[in-house]
Amino acid sequence: MAVKSNLKQIRTDRNIQQHELATALQTDVRTISRYETGARCPNIEMALRLSAYFKLAVNQLFELDDIRHNPK
């Protein structure tokens, strides 16, 4: 399953620079960039840190892109 990131949109809507976010989360700008482009998915700890930073639920930051329903 693919994970769709809403991180860039949320970050830019709040006028937060990648370097500001990276500093606040004690990571580097490349990691934030990779999360935003979908090249990398955050581990659960980082997803929770992002959630706390933005005061949003994890599923508001990231969502499954190809959920398939299998009706029975």
Topology, domain 3-64: 434 Repressor (Amino-terminal Domain) (1.10.260)
pLDDT (0 to 100) of residue 59? 94
Q: Do the bridges between strand 3-5 and strand 62-64 make them parallel or antiparallel, or are there none, so unpaired?
A: antiparallel
pLDDT (0 to 100) of residue 1? 55
Residue 29 · residue 19 · CB < 8 Å:
yes
Mean pLDDT of 52-70: 85
pLDDT (0 to 100) of residue 69? 52
Residue-wise pLDDT tens digits, 8-58: 999 999 999 999 999 999 999 999 999 999 899 999 999 999 999 999 999
